[in-house]
Amino acid sequence: MAMAMAAAAGECSSYTSEVTERRGIPAASFVQDVQSYLNQSGLDVNSALAFLQERLQQYRVVEMKLLAQQRDLQAKIPDIEKCLDIVSTLQAKKESGEALVADFELSEGIYSRARIEDTESVCLWLGANVMLQYSCEEATALLQTNLENAKASLEVLVADLQFLRDQVTITQVTTARVYNWDVHQRRLRQATTPKET
């Protein structure tokens, strides 16, 4: 049965879908003719419905992962922009020759005031317990690159989510078409079967 499902996915997508996948997300195929779909895939109605439901669940799992990545990137971009702003403020204060007075958090609700004079370098927290010291110019270049990469990744992620939502919709419509076709076929069989009185 699993081989029949895999064959059904491959055969059906080849005749009704232009895009076969996007970044590992398989494209759903819209079924025009349910009878030929079932014949070509070698599945009965219940197996086809089970296959479509399984595919829908796979799409939902991928959607949850992509949404989590999107949330992470949406939180990361403002942090990078804030770091860029801080580095540019440090550079501006250095060029003007005045000291920067800043309040920073030591612990929750506990702040300390610092006076920063003539800054030659900054330390950037890279994550995974790694902090590196950069010159202000290097830090600006690194942060700018990270910001551009994060924005580009977010754009790709949004496109992936849109593609995925389209596949979910196509799969739901196909499921409804197969189910409705089955109901119609049962009614036709009941109508042609002579009633016993």
Q: Where are the chain's structural domains?
A: 2-15+33-175
Task: Write the pLDDT tens digit of every residue in 75-122.
Answer: 999 999 999 999 999 999 888 888 889 898 889 999 999 998 888 899
* Residue 122: predicted pLDDT: 92
Task: Determine the Cα–Cα distance for residues 34 and 183; give it in Å rounded to an integer.
Answer: 12
Query: How is residue 14 written in tokens?
Result: 């080849």
Partners of 133 in the β-ladder:
123
Question: Does pTM top 0.85 for this prediction?
Answer: no
Task: Determine the Cα–Cα distance for residues 15 and 79; give it in Å rounded to an integer.
Answer: 46
Q: Give yes or no for residue 4 having a pLDDT over 70.
A: no
Q: Which is nearest to 168 in space by CA: 67, 68, 70, 71?
A: 67
Task: Determine the Cα–Cα distance for residues 29 and 10; give it in Å rounded to an integer.
Answer: 9
Higher pLDDT, 195 or 94: 94
Q: How far is CA 50 from the centre of its chain?
A: 25
One-letter amino acid at 81 equals E
Residue with tokens 């006076």: 115
Task: Write the pLDDT tens digit of every residue in 9-65.
Answer: 444 443 444 557 788 888 998 899 999 999 998 999 999 999 999 999 999 999 999
* Residue 13: predicted pLDDT: 40
Distances (CA, A) of 152 to 15, 44, 146: 33, 44, 10
Torsion of CA 102, 110, 78, 94, to 10 degrees: 10
**Overall average pLDDT of the 120-143 stretch:** 92
Residue with tokens 């439901």: 53
What's the CATH fold of domain 2-15+33-175?
Helix Hairpins (1.10.287)
* Residue 84: predicted pLDDT: 96
